[in-house]
Chains A and B, each alone.
Chain A
Amino acid sequence: MLKAAHPERPDALTWAFLGLGVLLLPVGLYLALSAPPDVNQGYLVRIMYLHVPGAWLGYLAFFVTFLYSLLYLLRQDPRYDRVALASAEIGLVFMGLALVTGMLWARPTWGVYWTWEPRLTTTAILFAVYVGYFLLRGAIEDPELRAKAAAAVGVLGFINVPISYMSVKWWRSLHQTQSIDLTTGKVHMDPAMLQALLFNLLVFTLLYLGFVRFRALVAALEARKEEA
Chain B
Amino acid sequence: MRTKYLLGLAVILGALGYLVFGGLGQNLVYFLTPSEYLQDQARYQNRPVRLGGLVKQGTVQYDKDRLELRFVLTDGVAEVPVFHKGTPPGMFKEGQGVVVEGRFQDGVFQGTNLLVKHSETYQAPKAGWTPEEVRKLIEEAK
From A108, A172, A190, give the contact of B122 (CB < 8 A). A190
Cross-chain contact A117 with B118 (CB below 8 angstroms): no
- Residue of B whose beta carbon sits closest to that of A171: B28
A170 to B22, CA, bound (A): 12
The listed residue (B12, B13, B115, B137) touching A174 by CB distance below 8 A is B115
Q: Considering the complex, which residues of chain B in the window 66-94 have a beta carbon less than 8 Å from any beta carbon of chain A?
A: 89-92
Chain B contacts for A115, CB-based, 8 A: 115
From A3-11, A37-45, A89-97, A217-225, give the one contacting chain B.
A37-45
* Residues B118 and A173 in contact, CB atoms below 8 Å apart: no
CB-CB contacts below 8 Å: A27-44 with B: 36-43
Q: Are B119 and A109 in contact (CB under 8 A)?
A: no
Q: Known contacts being A177-B120, A188-B120, is A110 close to B29, with CB within 8 Å?
A: no
Q: Which residues of A contact B25 (CB under 8 A)?
A: 170-171
Known contacts A39-B137, A174-B99; is A190 also within 8 Å of B113 by CB? no
- On chain A, the number of residues with a Cβ less than 8 Å from chain B's Cβ atoms is 36
Chain A residues with CB below 8 A from B13, complex form: 159
Contact assessment for A40 and B134 in the assembled complex, using a CB-CB cutoff below 8 Å = no
Contact B31 A172 (CB under 8 A): yes
CB distance from A189 to the nearest CB of B (A): 5
Would B28 and A118 count as touching, CB distance under 8 A? yes
Interchain nearest-CB distance for A80 vs B (Å): 17
B117 close to A36 (CB less than 8 A) = no
Q: Which residues of B contact A111 (CB under 8 A)?
A: 89, 92, 113-116
- Are the C-beta atoms of B114 and A117 separated by less than 8 Å? no
CA A112 to CA B90, docked complex, whole Å: 12
A70 to B89, CA, bound (A): 46
Query: What is the bound-complex CA distance between A192 and B29, given in angstroms?
Result: 34
Whole-angstrom distance from the CB of B35 to the nearest CB of chain A? Answer: 13
